[in-house]
Structure 1
Amino acid sequence: MGGSLCCEKPLPPNHVHPCLFPMYLVKVSDFLEMKGTPEPHDILMQKGLLHQWEPGMFTLFVSHQWLGSQHPDPTGQQLGVLRTALRRILEQSLQVEEDLTSIKPAALLDPEQIKRLSKPTLQQIERGYLFIDWFAIPQITARLPGVNEESTRSSAALAVQSIPAYVEAADLFLALVPELLHADTGLICSYSSWLSRGWCRAELWCRLLSNKSDTSIIVIYSTCDAELMFPLVWQRNLIADGLFTVESDRAVVVKLGEAALRGKLETLHIEGPVSHYRFYLACRPRLLGHQPMALDCEDFLRYFHFPSLQEAAEGRSCRDGLTGLLCAVLAGNAHMIRMLAKHRADVNDRLGDLSELGYYETQTVLTAAVKSHQEPPVLETLIELRADLHAQSRSGVGCAFAVRSAEQVQCLLAHRADFQCADVGVATPPLNGVANYADTATVAALLAARCEPDHPRDLDEKG
């Protein structure tokens, strides 16, 4: 298709993310034939390798961290990983499945239930198109000051501002995160550093808060390692806390996240499900880096659309998805936790299936509290109301496994939580979960509490 810049049509307007510049794509088949250092937009345009997005094009959005200050991939290694990984995915020698933590217990017995790329999807990928910023955006810079200021009218600035719309238009989202050295700093760039970048977080948020039926993220770690992202990951990586090359980008990009969340809530309010709507309402202050809202009883019922306090208290998670108690916990509202418990809300209630949001059947309300990064006062309230510190889900996950901060560790230890998991045959060693999903300070707090690094269960599995 190709073409010049004078006659393009942008993507259809979107009430959340406007598209200010056309979305340019490269055919997957053409990309697989490329070699060496990737060429920029203007060269690919001259060669007729760029195609403007049109409805019906199966599109893959590639999110990646730049490996140079003036070029995203000076040696071509990063996109070389993507080429090899795509070939292997299409040949089915590289299987892309959900990560182990996301797999439901039933799927462990029946592998057919494990979420993975389907054969029709593989066929669409083979005939599809890629969005990569270096290819798609004319004269893109390494985020120099002023490139996305509203007053700037350059094509590059408009295209950068349109990235959320490009994410919304894409059918698949790939996070390209191989472990490689940055050409200028010499630092290792990997999944962790990609996830720390503010713009990458914004792309991730726009994908997961879009209104598509499938918002899966494919993480490509290497030429032979790729998986679907654990759904809770994005919720603990706030845009406001991300790293930006240009500090002035922070406020602009935070607004993109706010708009994405607002659009998600507007859609869920109309279309449901009500459980997801209440979930995002409860988590909104934390996701946006704000303090929890101090809602009184009347405001709480109105905010979460409960007809009465009794109904908010009596609903069960397995039936309603998100009860009044779980809303109060996720919102960090200790006052309403007490009020609902006073009206017979069960602090030892078990969650229903909220796996799309990172919470799983039979996990406890207390486990949900620690997974959602609640402060110690919320945990203290549940414990005082006799939440069971040692209750575990069907898969053996308890609140000790799910802690997310050193302060949570100290709070649970003060109430004699078991971080040793003496019952080796049943419990999942807490350090396994903490090492995977918390920060180094939390791991250090567990080790300081003499949590055994080489748990007997781990040794049995190694042996």
Structure 2
Amino acid sequence: MGNQGFCSPEPHTGDAPAKPVHPCHFPMYVVKVADFLQMDGPPEAHHALLRKGLLHQWQPGLFVIFVSHQWLGRSHPDPDGQHASILRRSLEGMIQGTLQAEYEIEDEAPRRRRLLEPSSIGQGYLFLDWFAIPQITARAEGVNEEATKTDAARAVQSIPFYVEVSDVLLALVPELVHTETGQYCNYTSWFSRGWCRAELWCHVLSNKRDKIVVVVHSTLEAKFMQSWDWQNNIVVDGEFTVESDRAVVGSLGRRAIESKIAHLSEEGPLEVYRYFLARKAAMLGQASKTWDMNGFLERFKFPSMELAVRDTSSMNAVMCAVMSGDVMMLRLLATYAADLNFTIYGLNSLGFRDSFTVLMAAVKSNQPASLVASLIHLRADVSRRADIGDNAACHVKRPEHVQVLLQARADFHTAHEPFCFTPLAQAAGMTSAPTLKALLLARCDPNPSQSGLGITPLIGLIRFARGSPHALESAALLLEYRADINASQMKFQPKGWSFCCCLVTAQYGSKALLGGWCDDHASSCEVSYL
């Protein structure tokens, strides 16, 4: 059992990383997708599948789907087989073409689907921790507990390697209830877990050219994860059952991002290298780094300050300073007449649309209010809008952003074509509840006149807040400020708001919030629970 097997990959084969970041201490065991589809009921443990000959040791060239999930029991991950049933039916749908992963906003779904061919899935392999790792709680009779503990510990230490070499990370996050605690387990709770975040980071920060993350919400709904989702959920801020795991998992995240930066420094692309170097401190939960001029030019690979200021690439010197949170460097660049109002391009895959301004990027990336204020003081234009009509106010992430932009007389009330989002409608599902409260206190209208896509703040919350720990509190705030619960989305939601209410109960696992409100407004509320 302690044999290293195929832990060490052979020379580069296919898309397997030639130099894995993380070490492997225990063989990676996987199950054929075809065999998994023939199983039934709760998943069997490692020793049972090993005895049946259904486990295979990973080797380079295998197409592997790493299943990341939240346990539904304390001693068994899926006591009633609910996760396994949904996973089987979802995989069958992907193979048969009846279930396709969709992209929420950015139009990259066609390219990503080509990397997720039905034939690859059907002939592929699954990694599931219960299958792959010797479990102390379910060891075979006669097997020494200490040996099982040792193997299990080595396997757990190898999880970063397992997810790194997998081709797809599949987050299995249907709305289910923990069998012992009674708490809802879903996308929001999965994203809150430190280990789940670590698995995600080890995959997306691997040196593989193509990284695919598919989120399965149900047998009818699968989505490609947006890049901003994982960047917003840093590892060290996750929840841990064992608090000492925080430091261990934090070191995994640090190793992953430092290796990513080193790889990009050698192999490129340069703009992605600069981006992750600039974002490193924030992604590790550390204080922003202040660079001296020579250190800034050297690390971000600018030949001189004069050439840095003239650089028009997507991660030019201004963007490097902004993403680093470095106010002093930003001010220095301004003395060299750097353009603080240039239009960003080429960073879609990192979460910034073409047509974004530097100010919008600073606000969306949750830079300190002092940096946002410095940009404005240095003449960054608060009135500029991007391609869908949004301005910096649409992307606020903290109450201080609201205050700084209000002082600069940014427009917090107007909806602009073509989408016609008001800042409150766009921010509702993408910001914290305290920030939403700041917008409401700034007299942003919870019931704006509808045009364009016709998305009100409540509908915006439903459409964009999946996975947010603030969603319920934000919904309560909007209802407190008399947001119209029966408003319908003009363009895409002919059944109106009652359908969105159903989405709240299905997505966030609580009838109490809207149910209590509707009990008090029975004559006007059209809620029908799923």
Q: When the two structures are superposed, what TM-score results if normalisation uses the length of structure 1?
A: 0.90
Structure 2: distance between partners of 1:140 and 1:194: 23
1:49 equivalent in alignment to 2:54: yes
Equivalent positions of 1:6-17 (< 5 A) are: 9-12=5-8, 14=19, 16-17=21-22
Instruction: Structure 1: give runs of 5+ residues left out of the alignment.
Output: 105-112, 143-151
Task: Quote the offset at 1:33 in angstroms.
Answer: 1.5
Secondary structure class of the residue paired with 1:378 = helix
1:304 equivalent in alignment to 2:300: yes
Aligned to 1:401: 394
Equivalent positions of 1:16-415 (< 5 A) are: 16-100=21-105, 102-103=106-107, 114-118=110-114, 121-139=117-135, 154-316=150-312, 320-415=313-408
- The count of residues paired between Structure 1 and Structure 2 equals 439
1:451 equivalent in alignment to 2:455: no
Residues 420-443 of structure 1: per-residue CA shift (max 9 Å, x gap): 224455643323432232222222
Structure 1: distance between partners of 2:340 and 2:96: 49
Aligned to 1:146: none
Query: Does the aligned pair in 2 maintain the 1:134–1:140 contact within 8 Å?
Result: no
Task: Quote the offset at 1:298 in angstroms.
Answer: 2.2
Secondary structure class of the residue paired with 1:25 = strand
Check 1:376–1:126 CA distance in 2 against 1; reply closer, same or farther (3 A cut): same
Query: Does the aligned pair in 2 maintain the 1:168–1:210 contact within 8 Å?
Result: yes
Secondary structure class of the residue paired with 1:401 = helix
Structure 2: distance between partners of 1:400 and 1:53: 49
Check 1:7–1:334 CA distance in 2 against 1; reply closer, same or farther (3 A cut): closer
Structure 2: distance between partners of 1:271 and 1:444: 45
The residue type paired with residue 170 of structure 1 is: S
Task: Quote the offset at 1:399 in angstroms.
Answer: 1.4
Query: Does the aligned pair in 1 maintain the 2:32–2:126 contact within 8 Å?
Result: yes
| CA-based RMSD | 2.1
Task: Quote the offset at 1:207 in angstroms.
Answer: 0.7
Residues 111-163 of structure 1: per-residue CA shift (max 9 Å, x gap): xx744412872211100000000110001569xxxxxxxxx971000000000
Structure 1: distance between partners of 2:399 and 2:2: 56
Residues 50-75 of structure 1: per-residue CA shift (max 9 Å, x gap): 11112221100011111111111111
Secondary structure class of the residue paired with 2:285 = coil
The residue type paired with residue 324 of structure 2 is: A
Secondary structure class of the residue paired with 1:226 = strand
Check 1:422–1:9 CA distance in 2 against 1; reply closer, same or farther (3 A cut): closer
Secondary structure class of the residue paired with 1:134 = helix
Aligned to 1:416: 409
Task: Quote the offset at 1:374 in angstroms.
Answer: 0.2
Task: Quote the offset at 1:171 in angstroms.
Answer: 0.8
The residue type paired with residue 227 of structure 1 is: K
The residue type paired with residue 231 of structure 1 is: S
Query: Does the aligned pair in 2 maintain the 1:97–1:115 contact within 8 Å?
Result: no
Check 1:433–1:441 CA distance in 2 against 1; reply closer, same or farther (3 A cut): same
Query: Does the aligned pair in 1 maintain the 2:20–2:206 contact within 8 Å?
Result: no
Greater relative contact order (Cα 8 A, min sep 6): structure 1 or 2?
Answer: 1
Residues 52-103 of structure 1: per-residue CA shift (max 9 Å, x gap): 1122211000111111111111111112111111111111111212222x22
Secondary structure class of the residue paired with 2:227 = coil
Between stretches 417-426 and 431-440, larger displacement belongs to 417-426
The residue type paired with residue 374 of structure 1 is: Q
Task: Quote the offset at 1:398 in angstroms.
Answer: 2.2
Query: Does the aligned pair in 1 maintain the 2:100–2:222 contact within 8 Å?
Result: yes
Check 1:425–1:260 CA distance in 2 against 1; reply closer, same or farther (3 A cut): closer
Task: Quote the offset at 1:15 in angstroms.
Answer: 5.4
Residues 282-339 of structure 1: per-residue CA shift (max 9 Å, x gap): 00011111101121222221221211111111112xxx22000000000011111111
Query: Does the aligned pair in 1 maintain the 2:415–2:421 contact within 8 Å?
Result: no
Structure 1: distance between partners of 2:168 and 2:197: 16
Query: Does the aligned pair in 2 maintain the 1:26–1:130 contact within 8 Å?
Result: yes
Residues 362-413 of structure 1: per-residue CA shift (max 9 Å, x gap): 1110111011110100100111112111212223232122222222122212
Secondary structure class of the residue paired with 1:212 = coil
Check 1:352–1:141 CA distance in 2 against 1; reply closer, same or farther (3 A cut): farther
Structure 1: distance between partners of 2:235 and 2:418: 40
Check 1:114–1:123 CA distance in 2 against 1; reply closer, same or farther (3 A cut): closer
Structure 2: distance between partners of 1:120 and 1:346: 41
Check 1:131–1:119 CA distance in 2 against 1; reply closer, same or farther (3 A cut): closer
Secondary structure class of the residue paired with 1:437 = coil
Task: Quote the offset at 1:6 in angstroms.
Answer: 6.3
Identical counterparts, % of pairs? 47
Check 1:460–1:388 CA distance in 2 against 1; reply closer, same or farther (3 A cut): farther
Check 1:356–1:423 CA distance in 2 against 1; reply closer, same or farther (3 A cut): closer
Secondary structure class of the residue paired with 1:436 = coil
Query: Does the aligned pair in 2 maintain the 1:392–1:427 contact within 8 Å?
Result: no
Query: Does the aligned pair in 2 maintain the 1:98–1:116 contact within 8 Å?
Result: no
Structure 2: distance between partners of 1:218 and 1:403: 27
Between stretches 52-61 and 425-434, larger displacement belongs to 425-434
Query: Does the aligned pair in 1 maintain the 2:20–2:161 contact within 8 Å?
Result: no
Q: When the two structures are superposed, what TM-score results if normalisation uses the length of structure 2?
A: 0.79
Structure 1: distance between partners of 2:229 and 2:115: 27
Residues 329-360 of structure 1: per-residue CA shift (max 9 Å, x gap): 00011111111122121111111111121112
